[in-house]
Chain A
């Protein structure tokens, strides 16, 4: 086979393929357990596939299929995230959710939703009348007939958490290999030799967390029992001035096909409207449609009429790695030294830490575990949440580069350094919020490029001209 990967010699205990929310959490869990881990990512940065675009909600699992592995992982994942919120300061915004009924059909469905929530172990879910619903969310449109209150649904930063997991894994000795696409592999003498675009990699066990390419990676070990069917979700982000109109996550009553479009605050102080659910073939590109976006804007204003006057700050689309099956596809193949973690669709952000715990359990059962090593202190990630202190507020602060999001020069510089620096412009945005605000870089793109271009080649080229 080809030359070894330049950053990864020797044999790893586990190669985790895919550094999305799931891969980052799994790599951390394995590294904490004392396994020698390589986290292998095709993109230039972590979180560059399905994980870069979601609704950033920490779900309770109140509406997940009762008895499913998905529900179990969501419950455990949310419990663990909350513990890390307490101990490691991962951001969390307690908003609760209100599932609003606007028709007699919706209203008739509410008792069933409450019953399912209780069956799922989410005991504080209850039906509320119109007056109580309006007290919770005063801006709801006329015509409300009733609602279900889900107090435990909360809003998180979808990127800082997984970044913290990846950094924690690195602190525990894991290697993160970005820009490394796994193209094949073979198993010999109890270990995998994976072929990648940057050379060969050896590992005793492979954990397939490849998300949107999960079935392609699975085919290295066996004919994949699941087939990824990318499901696109488009979102509209409204200006921070819209935040005062929205207190909680406002959900529709789901129908047979989809969970429907929600309106919710983001942890960054905006308001999110979305997602759609659209099947497509392309695993790479999620395109925005003007009519769909306009429809989302209109739908948001129908639910909370005050939103009609609020400008759109951003629009994005993501792909969820759905499969033909209803549940997650997680299993260990003992003979093959392989752990499949597939079909982690829209609930992956919530479930990731629970999935990681389950994956470690499978590893222990089938492949054993070394003695647990001492815990290295977990690195802290910078806070980007609007409701918590940010560097721009501090006396002696640095120059503010991005005024829309309050990002200082020092924060941008810091995101380009350290054990896992931003690998591309998307990674820099996710780590700092720069250029993600209402002006989308109109005011700050030049300054951001001056700071970032030396570390992220290929974005701009220097030209001749007069000095500054």
Chain B
């Protein structure tokens, strides 16, 4: 059976696309989500500020994720379903709890989202103790796992997500000892740095060169250089934040052309990949934008898919 549309990834982009496709009357839309629950990254972001662009609301992340799933009712959402490979013409190998199967669709939308560059991909120097985590992993531990891996970490990076890490830390009773930025100035818009200093009492150190993470079994310090001086900031963890990357490994391993600048699949102005059976939308294309913008893009890509399917009919 060849479905009309299969969507890979059940986050804001994928579920918003499903919502549009279902509303247009498609009854055989399949969303493949590899996690046990759909909703994507917002599922684990406890603070408010979600749903403003796409639902005109101010929900928490988990609340927003639940609405996304609800709004895609009418599509089949298959969780624990992990895509293994993309084949020409819209055929996918998928691992589910029933085994490995081949799924075919007239159009496939890749909406696999983004993640932060881990420590290794940034070639961060030093030893490799426990306690070095991306913001995403840290927030998921706090909000979904009710556990913390450290008490006085350094936050590395000053994009908005670094300030999100500050909020999560405060929620969990964690006191970050510093926010360290390698660039000359804070990356998040004003007045984020001021807020960090005044509201959280966390010093923000910009223009720092990272000399190394130190520690044996656990993190002991972050060694930096600034203004010609070296210093070791004592800490018990490092939150490695920002520098989002497209989660596009199976696109890169496939026949699809890639965009060398973004690291995601190459698309035309209508979200179409180099194989016309494939489309891509959301943060897999150019990480990372806010969920509302991503959701809107998912909807726009869905309308492009509807036009393409109509033309092919």
A residues bordering B, Cβ < 8 Å?
44, 237, 239-241, 244, 284-290, 293-294, 297, 309, 311-317, 392-400, 403, 424-425, 438-443, 445-446, 449-450, 453, 459-465, 467-468
Contacts and interface: CB of A to CB of B under 8 A. Distances in A.
Contacts of A244: 253
B216 A284 contact: yes
Interface in B106-165: 115-116, 118-121, 123-128, 130, 133-134, 136-137, 140-149
Interface of B: 34, 36, 44, 80, 82, 95, 97-100, 115-116, 118-121, 123-128, 130, 133-134, 136-137, 140-149, 171-173, 210, 212, 216-217, 245, 247, 249, 252-253, 258, 260, 263
A399 B80 contact: yes
B125 A453 contact: no
Contacts of B120: 237, 312-315, 440
Contact of B128 (A290, A311, A316, A449): A316
29 contacts: A44-B217, A241-B249, A286-B127, A288-B212, A290-B123, A293-B123, A309-B260, A311-B121, A316-B128, A393-B95, A393-B100, A398-B97, A399-B36, A438-B249, A441-B137, A443-B137, A445-B133, A445-B141, A446-B44, A446-B137, A446-B141, A449-B145, A460-B148, A460-B149, A463-B146, A464-B146, A465-B142, A465-B143, A465-B172
B218 to A, nearest CB: 8
Nearest to A453: B147
Contacts, number: 143
A222 B144 CA distance: 56
Contacts of B212: 287-288
A265 to B, nearest CB: 15
Contacts of B173: 463
A462 B137 contact: no
A26 B284 CA distance: 50
B134 A442 contact: yes
Interface centre among B82, B98, B120, by most chain A C-beta atoms within 10 angstroms, is: B120
Contacts of A442: 115-116, 118, 134, 136-137
Contact of B140 (A239, A293, A446): A446
Given A403-B82, A425-B130, A459-B149, A288 B141 contact: no
A313 B80 CA distance: 24
Contacts of B36: 399
Given A315-B120, A446-B140, A465-B146, 8 more contacts: A312-B120, A316-B128, A439-B118, A442-B118, A442-B137, A446-B144, A462-B147, A465-B142
Contacts of A395: 97-99
B97 A397 contact: yes
Nearest to A285: B127
A361 to B, nearest CB: 37
Contact of A288 (B80, B97, B125, B134): B125
